[in-house]
C-alpha cells in the first residue's frame, strides 16, 4: 500500500458533510485498504466556524472554501454545500487546481451538468455524484456502467424521500402536511429550502440526471415537467384508497416508442396498492429501470438522510481515489444521442378526475360528451351525492390512456359547463 495519503477537502459540514467526515475517520483503515492508500481530510470549509463539530480537528476548519480548493495539493474535493453558487465555481476551481470532485448536488448537476463534465474532461479529472440521485441507492453507477451495454427505455420511481415521507404519513397515520414536513426536516431529509422537495424541484433535478444518463442525452431541470405535492389533499388520498390505490410523487423518464425523443416528468400519481412502489414507506426511494436486454430492474433503499447519503459519497470517494492511483479517470458524460425532450402534452397516461357537479338529470351525459369530444375514453365513473346535500354531487372519472394535451383540453371544456361547479382534483394514474 502507498503510504503517502491522498488529500481530501470537504466543502460543507451539514447533515451529509458531518457524516462523511465521521465515516472517513471511523473507517479510515478499511478505506485505506480498499483504495490502496490512506485518505486524509486536510480541510473542511464551513459557514459557521464557531459551531462545535465532534470528531473534526478544529485546525481543519476554514471559512475560505476558495482558498481550500486552490491549494493545489488536493486530490479529491467533496462538495456537499448544495445550491448553484458558489458550488459551481468551487467545483471548476477544484478541477483547475488538480482535484477530482465528488458531489451530492443534484440541483447543480441538473442545471449545469454538461459544463461541469466538460470542465472535468478538459482537466482530466473525475466528476462522480452517486449521492445526487436516490441517496444511498446505487443508481447512477449502475446506469452509467453496469447498463452501458444495454438500451434503457424507461426509468420510473420515487426519488424524493421528503415527499414520500409526507405522503406516507398523511396516508397511514392521518398526519397533517405541515407536521409531516417538520418531521422530515428534523430527520435531515429535506433540502435547506424544503420548497425544493414539496414543489418537486428536487425530484425534477434527479429525473433530469437519470434521463440524461439512461438515454445518453442531455436533459436539464427545465426540460422536466414538474408538479409537487402541495396541492395533494387528504381527500385525494382518501379517494385513492377507495380505488385501491395510494398517492406517490413519481419521476418518470421515457424513451418515445419511435426512439426519436424522450420525456421526463415529475408529478403526484395514484398507483395500485398491489404495485411494489405502493409499499415504499417513509424516506425510502425505489426506482424501476426497464432495459431492452435486462428487462425490469428495481432499486430500493434509503433515499435521504445524512448517513445513507454519506455512504454514496464515500463509495464515490473510493472509486475516484482508485482512479487517481491508477492515473486514470472513470467514465465521463455520455450524451451522444442528443435526443430532444418532448413536451408534457405528448405524454400518454391515465387520469383520475374528481368533479363537483350539479346533482340533476343529464349531467353525467354532458360530462361524458366532453370527454368523447376531446377523444379521451372513460374507463369508470363513480357518482356520489354529497353528505351536505345542496343539490351537488361528486363525480369521479377514471380514463383510459390518453395524451396529456387531450386531458388538458377536456378539463378546460369541463370547467365551461354550467353544471360543473369545480374540478376538485386531477391526478394521473400509473403502474397499471
Ligand X SMILES: N[C@@H](CC=O)C(=O)O
* Binding residues vs ligand X (CB under 6 A): 135, 160-162, 189-191, 197, 202, 303-304
| Rounded least distance, CB 348 to ligand NAI, Å | 32
Say how many C-beta atoms besides its own lie within 10 A of residue 234's C-beta: 13
Q: Which is nearer to ligand X, 195 or 408 (CB)?
A: 195
3-state class (DSSP) for residue 191: coil
Pairing of strands 100-103, 392-399: unpaired
Residue 14 is assigned to a ligand binding site? yes
Cα–Cα distance for residue pair 267/224, rounded to 1 Å = 10
- The binder of 201, among ligand NAI, ligand X, Na ion, none, by C-beta within 5 to 8 A per type, is none
- The binder of 162, among Na ion, ligand NAI, ligand X, none, by C-beta within 5 to 8 A per type, is ligand X
359 part of the interface to Na ion, by CB under 5 A = no
Look at the block and give the residue holding cell 424541484: 201
End-to-end CA distance of the chain: give it in Å, rounded: 53
Phi, psi of 261 (to 5 degrees): -155, 175
Look at the block and give the residue holding cell 398507483: 271
Q: Is the bond into 86 cis (omega within 30 degrees of 0)?
A: yes
Cα–Cα distance for residue pair 298/173, rounded to 1 Å = 27
Q: Which is nearer to ligand NAI, 99 or 237 (CB)?
A: 99
Residue 422 is assigned to a ligand binding site? no
Q: Which is nearer to ligand NAI, 101 or 270 (CB)?
A: 101
Q: Which is nearer to ligand NAI, 105 or 163 (CB)?
A: 105
Residue 297 is assigned to a ligand binding site? no
| Rounded least distance, CB 12 to Na ion, Å | 18
- The binder of 82, among ligand X, Na ion, ligand NAI, none, by C-beta within 5 to 8 A per type, is ligand NAI
Q: How far is CA 110 from CA 74, 106, 208, 332, in A?
A: 26, 6, 6, 15
Residue 191 is assigned to a ligand binding site? yes
Pairing of strands 420-429, 262-272: parallel
Per the annotation, the verdict on 206 as an active-site residue is yes
Size of the site for Na ion (CB under 5 A): 6
Residue in 9, 46, 81, 134 binding Na ion, rule: CB under 5 A: 134
Q: How far is CA 72 from CA 39, 42, 97, 247, in A?
A: 16, 12, 5, 50
- The binder of 431, among ligand NAI, ligand X, Na ion, none, by C-beta within 5 to 8 A per type, is none
- The binder of 197, among ligand X, ligand NAI, Na ion, none, by C-beta within 5 to 8 A per type, is ligand X
312 part of the interface to Na ion, by CB under 5 A = yes
Pairing of strands 6-11, 39-45: parallel
Q: Which one of the listed residues 7, 51, 122, 206 is annotated catalytic?
A: 206
DSSP 16-67: HHHHHHHHHHHTHHHHHHHHTS-EEEEEEE-S-TTS--TTS-GGGEES-HHH
| Rounded least distance, CB 348 to ligand X, Å | 28
Phi, psi of 181 (to 5 degrees): -65, -40
Q: Which is nearer to ligand NAI, 208 or 240 (CB)?
A: 208
| Rounded least distance, CB 143 to Na ion, Å | 10
Residue 12 is assigned to a ligand binding site? yes
Residue 18 is assigned to a ligand binding site? yes
Phi, psi of 286 (to 5 degrees): -150, 135
- The binder of 116, among ligand X, ligand NAI, Na ion, none, by C-beta within 5 to 8 A per type, is none
- Return the C-alpha cell found at 131: 449521492
Residue 15 is assigned to a ligand binding site? yes
Residue 253 is assigned to a ligand binding site? no
- The binder of 188, among Na ion, ligand NAI, ligand X, none, by C-beta within 5 to 8 A per type, is ligand NAI
Q: Which is nearer to ligand NAI, 17 or 431 (CB)?
A: 17
Look at the block and give the residue holding cell 441517496: 135
| Rounded least distance, CB 185 to ligand NAI, Å | 10
Spatial neighbors of 62 by CB under 8 A, at least 6 apart, are 43, 44, 45, 46, 49, 68
Cα–Cα distance for residue pair 122/91, rounded to 1 Å = 13
197 part of the interface to Na ion, by CB under 5 A = no
Binding site for ligand NAI (CB under 6 A): 11-17, 45-47, 65, 80-82, 86, 104-106, 131, 135, 188-189, 191-192, 304-305, 309
| Rounded least distance, CB 9 to ligand X, Å | 22
State the catalytic residues. Answer: 206
Q: Per the annotation, where are the binding residues for NADPH? A: 106
Q: Which residues are annotated as a binding site?
A: 11-18, 106, 191
Applying CB under 5 A, the residues found at the interface with Na ion are 130, 133-134, 137, 139, 312
Amino acid at each position: 500500500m502507498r503510504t503517502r495519503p491522498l488529500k481530501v477537502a470537504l466543502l460543507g459540514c451539514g447533515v451529509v458533510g458531518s457524516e462523511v467526515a465521521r465515516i472517513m475517520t471511523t473507517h479510515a483503515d478499511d478505506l485505506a485498504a480498499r483504495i490502496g492508500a490512506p485518505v486524509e481530510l486536510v480541510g473542511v470549509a464551513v459557514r459557521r466556524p464557531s459551531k462545535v463539530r465532534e470528531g473534526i480537528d478544529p485546525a481543519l476548519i476554514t471559512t475560505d472554501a476558495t482558498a481550500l480548493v486552490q491549494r493545489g495539493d488536493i486530490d479529491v474535493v467533496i462538495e456537499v454545500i448544495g445550491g448553484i453558487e458558489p458550488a459551481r465555481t468551487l467545483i471548476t476551481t477544484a478541477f483547475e487546481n488538480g482535484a477530482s470532485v465528488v458531489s451530492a448536488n443534484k440541483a447543480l448537476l441538473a442545471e449545469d451538468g454538461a459544463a461541469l463534465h466538460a470542465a472535468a474532461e478538459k482537466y482530466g479529472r473525475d466528476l462522480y455524484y452517486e449521492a445526487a440521485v436516490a441517496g444511498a441507492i446505487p443508481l447512477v453507477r449502475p446506469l452509467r456502467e453496469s447498463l452501458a451495454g444495454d438500451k434503457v427505455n424507461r426509468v420510473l420511481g420515487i426519488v424524493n424521500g421528503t415527499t414520500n415521507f409526507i405522503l406516507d404519513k398523511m396516508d397511514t397515520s392521518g398526519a397533517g402536511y405541515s407536521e409531516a414536513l417538520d418531521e422530515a426536516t428534523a430527520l435531515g431529509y429535506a433540502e435547506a429550502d424544503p420548497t425544493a422537495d414539496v414543489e418537486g424541484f428536487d425530484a425534477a433535478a434527479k429525473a433530469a440526471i437519470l434521463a440524461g444518463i439512461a438515454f445518453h442525452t442531455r436533459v436539464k431541470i427545465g426540460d422536466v415537467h414538474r408538479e409537487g405535492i402541495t396541492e395533494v389533499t387528504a381527500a385525494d388520498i382518501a379517494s385513492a384508497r377507495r380505488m385501491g390505490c395510494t398517492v406517490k410523487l413519481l419521476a418518470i423518464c421515457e424513451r418515445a416508442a419511435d426512439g426519436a425523443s424522450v420525456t421526463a416528468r415529475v408529478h403526484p400519481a395514484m398507483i395500485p396498492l398491489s404495485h411494489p412502489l405502493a409499499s415504499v414507506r417513509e424516506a425510502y426511494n425505489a426506482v424501476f429501470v426497464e432495459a431492452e436486454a435486462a428487462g425490469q430492474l428495481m432499486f430500493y433503499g434509503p433515499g435521504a438522510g445524512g448517513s445513507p447519503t454519506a455512504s454514496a459519497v464515500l463509495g464515490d470517494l473510493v472509486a475516484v481515489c482508485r482512479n487517481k492511483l491508477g492515473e486514470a479517470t472513470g467514465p465521463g458524460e455520455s450524451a451522444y444521442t442528443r435526443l430532444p425532450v418532448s413536451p408534457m402534452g405528448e405524454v400518454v397516461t391515465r387520469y383520475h378526475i374528481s368533479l363537483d357537479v350539479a346533482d340533476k338529470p343529464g349531467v353525467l351525459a354532458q360530462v361524458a360528451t366532453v370527454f368523447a369530444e376531446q377523444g379521451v375514453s372513460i374507463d369508470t365513473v363513480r357518482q356520489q351525492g354529497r353528505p351536505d346535500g345542496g343539490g351537488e354531487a361528486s363525480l369521479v372519472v377514471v380514463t383510459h390512456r390518453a395524451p396529456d394535451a387531450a386531458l388538458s383540453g377536456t378539463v378546460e371544456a369541463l370547467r365551461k359547463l354550467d353544471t360543473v361547479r369545480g374540478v376538485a382534483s386531477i391526478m394521473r394514474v400509473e403502474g397499471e
